[in-house]
Every structure is written in structure tokens, then in C-alpha cells.
Structure 1
Amino acid sequence: MQSFSSDMLPAKTRATAWNALYSQQLNRVDFTPANNQDFAAQLTLGKLGPIQFARMCSNRTNILRTRRHISPSAPRLYSFLLQTKGSGLLSHCGQEAVMTEGDFVLCDSAAPHSFTVEDDSIVVMMRVDAALLKTYLPTPEQFCGRLLKNEVGLTRTMSAMVEKFDSQLEAGFRSIYDERFARHVLEMLSMSYALGFSESSEVSAILRGRHAEVVRYIENNLRDPRLSPSSIAEGLRISPRYLRTIFASTGEKVSAYILRRRLEECAKQVRDPRWAGHTLTEIAFSWGFNSAGHFTRTFRDQFTFAPREYRREHLGE
């Protein structure tokens, strides 16, 4: 296995240098440590047949992957994230997952995400080619960003298995049966997800997959003020009626989903000290709002407080 540590990097530019190193070895992202002076991280890489294992240790930091980090020509990968120590918060494909030890979340390299890990966090990632994963988990899009809790179904057993494989790979484990072991891991993971997210048979797998596709399109275009049900239908080459059918199972209209997600992203930045120097209007307009009055009204409806009061409540200003 290959190992990298932030200790080997210059102290003054450690976070910037770590961004470059991590982006070169895995995915392009931006690390924003809670404290630049004390930032510490480690990355260990290994392989089990077609599965790439990556273990990331870090103190508190935010890992952000945006549209500018994603190349359309890059191979599409799915990553199973296992929180083996500490906790973290992953926002991905319109979902928020609060991860504790033993929990899994599936992440799509073709979609943005935000991942905040707390101090002494250890996350094991298993990266798999999209085409290969779909032979085991036919519609992985429907699971992206959704939390698979440790106590559900086979998850606890799967967590222990993945941790054991990771430890053995670090110790130099090699076998002529790597491919077979990898297939076993993928089969177990697919069963864990099938048991953990068993849903009503009334909602077909096709509709769930299409719903995930629509959500991914919305998340990728959330900042565009022209985003609307009609533009989504046109962009995905489906009829507006079929779009309504896809969303009907969730009990939430497409337009309501867009508004809720914009408000949630605005609220994150309003309460974030790093955005304290930006006006509320700047934040709102950056997330697709084009009316300050509409933003204020809908924000109050969603969060009880008006945006200015909400900021004061969280930042003490």
C-alpha cells in the first residue's frame, strides 16, 4: 500500500499542498481545515482486485467537490464510504448523512459533494468502476448520499469485513484470489444495501433510478436561476408529465424540492463564519434566487427566522 502524510509537506502551505496531493491520487477536491496551523491528514491506498481501497485520517476539515472539479471525460466511479472512527457529515445528491462509526454512504464521482469530518476521523473508501458496480447493484444512483446505518441488516458484519480487509492490505496481503475476494465484497455490499433500503414494491426500480437521475440534474444546476420543471424535463429529454410521475412517489413537487434545496444551501452559508463577509443577497443570488423579497419570505417560512435573524442567532452578530 502507498501512504502519504501531511507531515511531509511544508507547514506554511500544508493545506494547499495536501489538496494537490489528494487530487492527484484520488479525486479533485478542496480541503478547508478548521485550523490551518494544526491541519493533519494521512492517506493510504491499496487494491483488492478491481476495488481500490483508500483510508483517510484527518482532524476537523471540510472536503468540497464542485462542478469545476468534475471532468466529463473522467471515468465514472462510485465510492462506498465507511466511517471507521469519529464522525462526519456528507451532503450529496440532495441528501444529508450524519455518519458515525460503522455507517456507510455511497458517493458518485460525477456529482458534487461536501464532506465535513470531525477531529480524529478515519474513513475507508472503496472505489469501484460504475459499470462493474451496476452488475451487483443495478441502480446505484438511488442510494447516493443516503445513510446506511451500522445496526441495519448486514451492515455491522460488512463494516467489520471491510475494516479487516483494509488492515490486511496495509500489512501487505496479496493473493491469487483477489478477484474472488473483491466479488464477494461487492455481493455483500449489494445485499447490505438491498436489506437496508428495502422499499415498497409499488415504487419500481426504474422510477427510483429515474428519480435519482432527476435529483442529480437538479443538484448540478441548482445555482442556475432558470432551473425549473420545464427546463429539467427538456434537459433530460422527458415529458413534464413523466417528470411529475417520477416525483409523485416522494410526496414533494419538483418546484418545492428545488426551493427547499436552495434554501438549505443558503442556510449553510448564512450560518458559516467563512461567509460572514458576504451579504445575504449575495448568498441568495448565488443559489439561483433573483428576488431578495422572495428569498426572505421563503427563508422565514422554512426556518422560522428571517435570514438576518438566523445569521445573528448562529454567529452572534
Structure 2
Amino acid sequence: MKILQKKRLFILLIGIIVLVALIGYSLQDRDETTTVEQFIKDTVGWAQNMIHTPVDYVTGIFKNIDDVRNTYEENKRLREKVAEYKTLQYDVQELQEENAELRETLEKSESIREYAPIQASVISRSPERWIEQVTINKGTQDGIKENMAVITAEGMVGKVGDNPSKFTSTVKLLTGFDQYNRISATVTRDDTDDVVGMIEGYDEESDQLLFRIIEESDDDLEEGELVLSSGMGGVFPSGLPIGEVKEVKPDQYGLTRTAFVEPVADMYDLNNVIVVDREESVDTADETGEDETA
């Protein structure tokens, strides 16, 4: 038994000596490696490559997925910023247009300061009466009265309707005028007599006002001539632009003629208006014996 243990101890010592010798031999600086060492190195390298290749492949897949996710999130943020930029751009454009409109309205107020201009904003427009009337945010407490002229910076748009309330008023637009709601108007000329008539209707087909001519000058009306309020009825101020002549047609009997007039103000885009309070209103009829408004 003791002999067997001694043999084992001897073999272990021999193994250790051989291992130390091999380690020492492998640590020596040599120009060439043995075949066994090359084989071991190649085997280890091949095994490492076999393990490293699929690991790199799987790692690359997860990295690509992460890149796609990051790209998607970045694109989402960029789209949101672009949408915010466009919204801001539209807001700036709208504010610029509103400022321009307000400046024009203010300039118009200054130009008619001999009357009392009342600034107002359109707050609603009835869908079923789209071309006939709008509602503004000023009423009797602000000095609003029936039949006052309502204008924009471009020109006249209508008149205050019946029974304005304390805080709001209805504006009857020129496009809703008829023989019972009319305005004495004129085309002024320097060299010849003025053309006098009445704005007393609206042609929906041509989208133009009807100017019935009562008194003509020696020269016919021409396209592009400006129709103004005459002020003959004593209610509206004179000289408010109404529209431009586009065409003149005789009636079926050839007794009177009607001019088709395109409004100078945009009746479909009303935001800020001026109600013109004529300080010295006179209840008189015009030269034809007809009231300016009915």
C-alpha cells in the first residue's frame, strides 16, 4: 500500500516537472513555433472565430433594431417640429394679415373723422343667410342706430339692420339689398354731369350689385368707373366707395338702364368693420323723391 502511494506521488512529481518544463520552454523567445503549438493556436483561433461570428451577427441584428427604433423616434420628433413650424407660420401669416387689415381700418377711420366712426368686429354669420347679413359686437350702448352705414377699409359693405340690441347689431349686407333696402349712389365725373342712381338689388348669378340709373350724363357709363354713395338721403355719408361698373344693360322696355357693379369690399371675408355715425342726419328724400333706405 505504501509502495502504491509512493508511485503515485512520484508520477505526480514527474508530471509537475514536465509541466513546468513545458511552460518554461514555451516562454522562451523563439523564431519558430513547434507543430504542436501551431496546431493548438489554430484550433483555439478557429474555435474563437466559430463562437465570435454568430455572436457578432446577433449583436448586429439587435444594434440595427435599436438604430431603426432611434431613427423612427427621431423622425417622429422631426415631423412634430415641422408641424409646429407650419402652424406657427400660418399663425404669423394670419396675424400679419389681421394687422394689415387693422391698420387699413384705422387709416380709414382717420379719413372719415368728420363723422363718428365706431370700430366693430364680426362675431357671427348665419349659414342660411350667408350673403345677406352678419352680426357685430357693438350695439346701442356704443351709439349704434338703425341704417348707419357699415364699411371696411376697401369700401361700403352694408348698413345696420332694424332693432339693434344693447351689445350686438345685425348688419344687412349690400348683397342682400332689394327694392325695399337701397342706397342713393352716384358716379362722379369732372368734365361731364354725374350719373345718379340707386343700389337696389343683387344678382347672385354674376355676384354683382344692381345700380339702377336714374339720371345719366351725356357720356355712357364705362367699365371700371367707381360707384360711390351720394349722401342725398341724409343718412349715409357721401363718397363711400361701393363698387366698380362691369356692365350696363337696358330693361326690357328700354326705358331705364341697370349697371352691374362689382363690390369693392369682399363680402365673404369680413372680420373688422367700421360703423359710420353721421352726426348731422337729415330726414330728407333724394332728388327722385325716393328715400335712401326703406
Give the TM-score taking structure 1 as reference length.
Answer: 0.21
More helix, by proportion: 1
RCO higher in structure (CA 8 A, sep ≥6) = 2
Give the TM-score taking structure 2 as reference length.
Answer: 0.22
